[in-house]
Amino acid sequence: MKDDKIFELADAQERFADIVWANEPIASGDLVDICRKELNWKKSTTYTVLRKLCEKNLLQNISGVVQSLVSREEYYSTKSRQVVDASYAGSLPAFIAAFAFDKKLTMNEINEIQRMIDEFKREV
């Protein structure tokens, strides 16, 4: 993400951003319609949240067309790193151990994690 900027988003803002990411580029009027159906929001609420996310440089609204300045992947990747840094002193193994502590991993999950580790080893 650009300069690893921290975006503090409320749950509603995150859901709104997910709608934009799933439909971008999207006309602001169409965005209002989707938010009315999916979030039960009024037009004014949609435009207020849109304005706030534009001020945070997460989204842009140019001539009534809304699209992201930061991709969904960039946002969630940065958010995940922030959790690991803040809660596990930046230790990914500590995070994985805590995550798997009370959740039994499936064989598919274990194989996928191993595949990712193997891929990372090749890149080092």
Tokens standing for residue 61: 């609204």
For 19, 27, 46, 113, the CA distances from 110, given in Å and listed in that order, are 31, 42, 41, 5
User: Within this chain, do residues 11 and 44 fall inside the same structural domain, yes or no?
Assistant: yes
Q: Is residue 119 part of a domain?
A: yes
Q: How many residues does the chain have?
A: 124
Q: Is residue 62 part of a domain?
A: yes
User: Within this chain, do residues 36 and 65 fall inside the same structural domain, yes or no?
Assistant: yes
Question: Integer distance in angstroms from the first to the last C-alpha of the chain?
Answer: 22
pLDDT, average across residues 45-68: 97
User: Within this chain, do residues 60 and 96 fall inside the same structural domain, yes or no?
Assistant: no
pLDDT bracket for residue 47 (50, 70, 90): very high
CATH number at residue 9: 1.10.10.10
pLDDT tops 60 at residue 100: yes
Kindly report the pTM of this predicted structure. 0.76
User: Within this chain, do residues 14 and 61 fall inside the same structural domain, yes or no?
Assistant: yes
What does the alpha-carbon distance between residue 107 and residue 37 come to, in Å, rounded to a whole number? 38
User: Within this chain, do residues 58 and 111 fall inside the same structural domain, yes or no?
Assistant: no
User: Within this chain, do residues 45 and 96 fall inside the same structural domain, yes or no?
Assistant: no
pLDDT tops 80 at residue 7: no
Q: Which domain holds residue 10?
A: 2-72
pLDDT at 102: 82
pLDDT bracket for residue 5 (50, 70, 90): low
